[in-house]
């Protein structure tokens, strides 16, 4: 790696990590200013509030990635422009595209890290909501319940415990698996969830009732309930917010809502935003680097103003397009990705126009 590459990459990463660790504190301060009185009215102690915000930190940290990427790219390239370092690099045969290549590669790595973090955030958001009293603490058990599965079958159980992934007194009733118009009725003493296999029903009977009145009964020691794809935690009687669900969980929830005739626009938009926000980190770098060369005047104040204006524009587009997706005005895919598409087009135009 060239000395110039190390300089650009080192400056960018140093600024990125300064901004990405500092910005969440501003988010927390703003949120606490708005909600602290509500938390205290619930009887929460300051220790509980602090613990709740500690669990929310990964969420604020994720939101800081695009902002930090913009600030880092602007404050890496802008000083190099004002101090004629970019011009010197060009005179030495290094094009602007080659100059920013270390930042672009770092952006790809940071985008991957943000994507991984986006799948951790729903779990920490759920814990934070429980600590702050936004949601009741999730039980580890459920008794005497009936559940309609994704396959349309009726499941009832005397007791479910997620500590050992077991159900007691299980009944599963639905259409016969052989495609006939018969009804299948399964009774089992218990069921055990095994990763990779699903629910294993143990010690029971399978009764198949045919339309002509015939009845078939088969006893089993173990039976794999392939149609019952919901895991132990999916069967708990707790409704989670979209912010507390992963990409895959949001997809399953959207399918259930669509099957029941509901509008899944908000859920699908939230799901796509879990990918759009991390990818924005990379796109913002492509946008911010050539933007920082647009003026040589104004000093640090210009760079700060430029970054803040761009950040506010992105957040405004993100909220407006998201709201249109929630309302069904825009398809969920477009609603989530529209800000990224617009900024990517702007980045391409700026990269084409920049003097190389």
Tens of pLDDT, residues 9-54: 999 999 999 989 888 888 888 888 888 888 888 888 888 888 888 9
Residue 147 and residue 198 share a domain: yes
Residue 122 and residue 23 share a domain: yes
pLDDT for the residue numbered 36: 83
Greater model confidence, 213 or 122: 122
Residue 148 and residue 46 share a domain: no
- Going by their DSSP bridges, the two strands 154-161 and 198-209 should be labelled as unpaired
Q: Assign 212 to helix, strand or coil.
A: coil
The whole-angstrom separation of Cα 90 and Cα 96 is: 7
CB atoms inside a 10 Å sphere around CB 11: 18
Residue 268 and residue 147 share a domain: no
pLDDT for the residue numbered 296: 52
pLDDT for the residue numbered 299: 56
Residue 158 and residue 126 share a domain: no
User: Residue 154: which domain range?
Assistant: 141-237
Query: Does residue 254 lie within any of the structural domains?
Result: no
Residue 108 and residue 35 share a domain: yes
Q: Once rounded to an integer, what is the mean pLDDT over residues 202-227? A: 87
Spell 202-216 as b/e; 16+ CB within 10 A means b: bebebebbeeeeeee
Query: Does residue 250 lie within any of the structural domains?
Result: no
Instruction: Check residue 64 and report its DSSP letter.
Output: H
Q: Select from 46, 235, 229, 252 the least CA-distant residue to 138.
A: 235
Greater model confidence, 333 or 299: 333
Residue 96 and residue 21 share a domain: yes
Phi, psi of 143 (to 5 degrees): -130, 150
pLDDT for the residue numbered 138: 59
Residue 148 and residue 131 share a domain: no
Enumerate the β-bridge partners of residue 167. 160, 191
pLDDT for the residue numbered 303: 59
Residue 214 and residue 337 share a domain: no
Q: Assign 111 to helix, strand or coil.
A: helix
The whole-angstrom separation of Cα 1 and Cα 122 is: 38
Question: Where do we find the tokens 């080192």?
Answer: 10
When pLDDT is cut at 50, 70 and 90, the band that residue 337 belongs to is very high
Asked whether residue 304 carries a pLDDT value surpassing 70, the answer given is: no
Torsion, Cα 188 192 195 198, to 10 degrees, reads: 10
Burial of 342 (0-12, 13-18, 19+ CB in 10 A): middle
| Percent of the chain predicted with pLDDT > 90 | 24
Query: Does residue 157 lie within any of the structural domains?
Result: yes
Q: Residue 249 corresponds to which tokens in the numbers above?
A: 């969980």
Q: Residue 51 corresponds to which tokens in the numbers above?
A: 């613990």
Phi, psi of 341 (to 5 degrees): -65, -45
Query: Does residue 36 lie within any of the structural domains?
Result: yes
Q: Select from 356, 207, 348 the least CA-distant residue to 287.
A: 348
Residue 112 and residue 29 share a domain: yes
The whole-angstrom separation of Cα 14 and Cα 72 is: 8
Phi, psi of 307 (to 5 degrees): -65, -45
The whole-angstrom separation of Cα 350 and Cα 356 is: 11
Residue 131 and residue 57 share a domain: yes
When pLDDT is cut at 50, 70 and 90, the band that residue 330 belongs to is confident
Element (H, E) at 157: strand 154-161
Query: Does residue 246 lie within any of the structural domains?
Result: no
Q: Once rounded to an integer, what is the mean pLDDT over residues 75-103? A: 83
Residue 159 and residue 131 share a domain: no
Asked whether residue 243 carries a pLDDT value surpassing 90, the answer given is: no
Query: Does residue 333 lie within any of the structural domains?
Result: yes
| Mean pLDDT estimate for the chain | 84
Query: Does residue 170 lie within any of the structural domains?
Result: yes
Q: Select from 303, 281, 287 the least CA-distant residue to 81.
A: 303
First to last CA, the chain: 21
Query: Does residue 243 lie within any of the structural domains?
Result: no
What's the structural domain count of the chain? 2
């Amino acid at each position: 790696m060239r000395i110039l590459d190390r300089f650009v990459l080192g400056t960018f990463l140093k600024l990125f990590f300064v901004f990405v660790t500092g910005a969440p504190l501003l988010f927390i301060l703003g949120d606490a200013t708005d909600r602290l009185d509500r938390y205290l009215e619930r009887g929460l102690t300051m220790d509980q509030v602090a613990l709740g915000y500690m669990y929310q930190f990964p969420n604020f940290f994720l939101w800081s990635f695009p902002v930090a990427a913009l600030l880092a790219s602007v404050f890496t390239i802008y000083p190099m422009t004002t101090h004629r370092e970019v011009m010197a690099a060009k005179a030495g045969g290094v094009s602007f595209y080659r100059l920013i290549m270390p930042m672009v590669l770092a952006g790809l790595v940071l985008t991957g890290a943000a994507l991984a973090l986006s799948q951790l955030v729903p779990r920490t958001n759920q814990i934070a909501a429980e600590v702050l009293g936004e949601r009741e603490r999730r039980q580890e058990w459920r008794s005497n319940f009936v559940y309609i599965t994704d396959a349309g079958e009726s499941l009832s159980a005397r007791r479910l415990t997620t500590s050992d992934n077991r159900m007691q007194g299980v009944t599963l009733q639905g259409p016969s698996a052989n495609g006939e118009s018969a009804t299948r009725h399964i009774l089992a003493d218990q069921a055990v969830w095994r990763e990779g296999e699903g629910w294993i029903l143990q010690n029971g009977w399978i009764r198949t009732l045919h339309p002509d009145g015939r009845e078939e009964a088969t006893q089993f020691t173990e039976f794999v309930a392939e149609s019952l794809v919901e895991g132990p935690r999916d069967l708990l009687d707790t409704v989670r917010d979209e912010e507390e669900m992963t990409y895959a969980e949001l997809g399953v929830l959207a399918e259930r809502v669509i099957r029941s005739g509901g509008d899944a626009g908000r859920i699908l938009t939230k799901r796509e935003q879990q990918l759009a926000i991390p990818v924005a980190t990379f796109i913002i770098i492509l946008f911010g680097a050539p933007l920082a060369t647009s003026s040589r005047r104004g000093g640090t104040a210009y760079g700060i103003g430029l970054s803040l204006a761009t950040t506010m524009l992105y957040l405004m587009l993100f909220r407006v397009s998201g709201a249109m997706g929630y309302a069904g005005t825009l398809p969920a895919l477009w609603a989530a990705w529209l800000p990224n598409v617009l900024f990517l087009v702007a980045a391409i135009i700026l990269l084409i126009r920049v003097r190389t």
